[in-house]
Amino acid sequence: MSVSGNQSSSIGLRGSIGHAAPEYGMGSEVSTHGDVYSFGILLLEMFTGKRPTDHMFNDGLNLHNYVKTALPELVSEISISLVLQEGTTNVAEAHRHSRLSVRAQKIEECLTLILGIGIACSVESPTNRKDINDVASELQSIKRNLLG
């Protein structure tokens, strides 16, 4: 459909709130850089359990900054939570167990790497974001490390 001189077009921002790249709000064209941003936010959301639209994110705080400043303590909290899900009912025992367990140490290491990828994908500047091919390779490597 073409737009003639007496017609107007209103093209709105497409994407989920909190997942759309910041440059889209400034009128930038859709690009793979924006897709990488969305993927990074999705990784951070999946592994922290926090949505980018959470009420805690205001006054300049967003999911990216939250994760970036909360590392490495955040990884310890997530891995303790995972150990609890594996059947441990006592938080103190889970904490002690997570410090001693080789599997828990591997989980912490992998979570740190995954959250690092999420952070690198969701930086504000599109040209400073990770290349998606590198992301795919790194995630495959993390998977091999965790399962191997």
Each residue's pLDDT tens digit, 21-77: 988 888 888 899 999 999 999 999 999 989 999 999 988 899 999 999 988 888 888
> What pLDDT is attached to residue 9?
37
- In terms of Cα–Cα distance, which of 89, 136, 85, 96 is closest to 114? 136
Chain segment 73-108, per-residue pLDDT in tens: 888 887 767 666 666 555 556 555 555 577 778 888
Q: What is the distance between the alpha carbons of residues 14 and 34, in angstroms, rounded to a whole number? A: 11
| Bond before 126 cis per omega within 30 degrees | no
Cβ–Cβ contacts within 10 Å for residue 18, how many?
16
Q: Are 84 and 75 in contact (CB under 8 A)?
A: no
pTM of the prediction?
Answer: 0.78
Domain ranges of the chain: 32-147
